[in-house]
Amino acid sequence: MNLLENEAKKMLSHSGIRVPKGYLVKDGAELEKALSHMMFPLMMKAQVPVGGRGKAGAVIKIMDRQQAIDGLSNLKGMNVRGFKVDSVLIEEFAPHDEEMYLAISIDRAAGMPNLICGKKGGMEVEVIGHGHIKQYPIDPLEGPDDGLTEKVMLDLGLTNAHLEMLSALISKLWSFYSNYDCELVEVNPLVLQHDGFVCLDAKVVIDDDSLFRHPELSYLKGRDKSPFEIECGKRDLTGVELAGEIGVIANGAGLTMAVLDELERIGLKGAAFIDLGGTDDPARIADAISMMRGGRWVPNIKGILICVFGGITRCEVVADGIISSLPNGPSNIPMIVRLRGVNELQGRSKLRGSGLDAYLDLEEACLALRSVIRGGT
């Protein structure tokens, strides 16, 4: 769950981390009210849950009232990497000489948190080269220690005079990261003023599955999800929308990923997938197929691939669910089934009796679907 910058800064501020004075603005009246409490120069930033706003022209410096009015007019309704701007954050400009980078994230390979820091921050942090970015593992039970803080101090080009302030900042970031079940807390840029560190921009990603532990964040639930993903949730299905052309229905996360990988290997991409888990309930299987058909929820689908491995799941019962979903008339979306496991022969026999191609081999099923939707290629 990606927080907007203003949401992240509000939470960081409540955790004792300094941020510039600012206001969320949605219209001219709110802008005038905010300006009455602020002094120029100001920064105006489009509020969208993605990075790259500076390069997209969605962050502007404001020198006077008219520039603020014009800036709000230009940014409102702007599209930034697929997200429409509904509000802006206007905040006081914080003078500074150097911009640094500081973050805590998950190192999935190591299975533990990682502190990431860099002497150079700001817009170009992703292109300055790995030599300027340092990463240190954090013991999740112990948290950052003094030795880690000293390393970060040197990496950021700071001196012992800043050690106490830096230690306090890292401690607060770690507490925030842990308390809110974050996947990422990123301060970029981080600047040093005469009286301490200031977070000029922040990105916070919270683990969706932890929201039940944070009732104060209940308003975030579902905000990052597409209409397809929201509808899947309502139907007690696990669905994810992607950007390709094939609808995938499979049972189990590992098998679902294997299907997506095989599709990509032969030049196809998933448009969406639904993970059935361990069910062979015909009604739920038919429900999943209905989510992929008709173009209402995922308009880009050109073909559907159903891949089921029957362990506890029985293939002939899965076949009943697939058959019950078939339209009365012809469908313009081809559907291919790969069925293997318990009672696979009965299941495949039922499908073929209903005019559906059923395969044992995943590669053969994927190639067959490609042939159908691309005319034999």
Find the CATH number of the domain harbouring 58.
Answer: 3.30.1490.20
Inform me whether the pLDDT recorded for 28 exceeds 90: yes
268: in domain: yes
Kindly state whether residues 86 and 182 are assigned to the same domain.
no
Could you give the CA distance from residue 217 to residue 2 in angstroms, rounded to a whole number? 12
For the chain, the first-to-last Cα distance in angstroms comes to: 40
- Tell me the residue length of the chain: 377
Averaged pLDDT for residues 158-178: 96
3: in domain: no
Averaged pLDDT for residues 180-203: 95
Kindly state whether residues 331 and 273 are assigned to the same domain.
yes
Could you give the CA distance from residue 48 to residue 57 in angstroms, rounded to a whole number? 13
Domain total for the chain? Answer: 3
Averaged pLDDT for residues 16-23: 97
Q: What are phi and psi of 298, to 5 degrees?
A: -135, 95
316: in domain: yes
- Percentage of the chain beyond pLDDT 90 is 72
- Reading the block at residue 63, the tokens are 């020198």
Inform me whether the pLDDT recorded for 156 exceeds 60: yes
- Helices 65-75 and 28-35: angle between axes, nearest 10 degrees: 150
Instruction: Return contacts of 64-72, CB within 8 angstroms, 24+ apart.
Output: 64/40, 65/35, 68/31, 68/35, 68/42, 68/44, 69/28, 69/31, 71/44, 72/25, 72/27, 72/28, 72/31, 72/44
Range(s) of the domain holding residue 76: 21-92
Averaged pLDDT for residues 106-112: 89
The residue among 167, 194, 217 that closes a domain is 217
| pLDDT attached to residue 130 | 59
Kindly state whether residues 59 and 107 are assigned to the same domain.
no
| pLDDT attached to residue 328 | 56
351: in domain: yes
Q: Residue 321: which residues within 8 A CB-CB, separation 6 or more?
A: 280, 281, 282, 283, 284, 285, 286, 289
- Reading the block at residue 169, the tokens are 């900042």
Kindly state whether residues 263 and 292 are assigned to the same domain.
yes
Task: Write the CATH number for 370.
Answer: 3.40.50.261
Residue-averaged pLDDT of the chain = 91
Kindly state whether residues 140 and 242 are assigned to the same domain.
no
Inform me whether the pLDDT recorded for 209 exceeds 80: yes
For residues 224-235, one letter each, b for 16 or more C-beta atoms within 10 angstroms of the residue's C-beta and e for the rest, the string is ebbebbeebeee
Inform me whether the pLDDT recorded for 56 exceeds 70: yes
Could you give the CA distance from residue 241 to residue 114 in angstroms, rounded to a whole number? 29
4: in domain: no
**Among 91-105, 122-136, 152-166, which stretch is predicted with the lowest mean pLDDT?**
122-136
Kindly state whether residues 189 and 242 are assigned to the same domain.
no
Kindly state whether residues 164 and 194 are assigned to the same domain.
yes
Averaged pLDDT for residues 201-213: 92
| pLDDT attached to residue 142 | 94
Q: What is the DSSP letter of 373?
A: H
User: For residue range 308-327, what is the model confidence (pLDDT) as tens digits?
Assistant: 998 778 999 999 999 998 87
Q: What is the DSSP letter of 3?
A: P
Closest CA to 334 of 272, 261, 247: 247
Kindly state whether residues 110 and 203 are assigned to the same domain.
yes
Kindly state whether residues 163 and 81 are assigned to the same domain.
no
Could you give the CA distance from residue 146 to residue 250 in angstroms, rounded to a whole number? 48
Q: What are phi and psi of 20, to 5 degrees?
A: -65, 150
Provide the pLDDT confidence category of residue 127 given band limits of 50, 70 and 90: low
130: in domain: yes
Could you give the CA distance from residue 130 to residue 53 in angstroms, rounded to a whole number? 22
| pLDDT attached to residue 12 | 97
Pairwise pLDDT comparison (108 vs 7), residue with the higher score? 7
Task: Write the CATH number for 200.
Answer: 3.30.470.20
Could you give the CA distance from residue 17 to residue 174 in angstroms, rounded to a whole number? 11
Kindly state whether residues 150 and 43 are assigned to the same domain.
no
Averaged pLDDT for residues 135-146: 95
Averaged pLDDT for residues 276-280: 82
The residue among 66, 92, 118 that closes a domain is 92
Kindly state whether residues 87 and 105 are assigned to the same domain.
no
The residue among 92, 126, 152 that closes a domain is 92
Could you give the CA distance from residue 357 to residue 102 in angstroms, rounded to a whole number? 54
15: in domain: no
- Percentage of the chain beyond pLDDT 70 is 96
| pLDDT attached to residue 206 | 94
- Reading the block at residue 51, the tokens are 């990075």
Provide the pLDDT confidence category of residue 81 given band limits of 50, 70 and 90: confident
Q: Residue 76: which residues within 8 A CB-CB, separation 6 or more?
A: 85, 86, 88
Averaged pLDDT for residues 206-221: 88
| pLDDT attached to residue 377 | 58
Kindly state whether residues 370 and 249 are assigned to the same domain.
yes
Inform me whether the pLDDT recorded for 7 exceeds 80: yes
| pLDDT attached to residue 313 | 84
148: in domain: yes
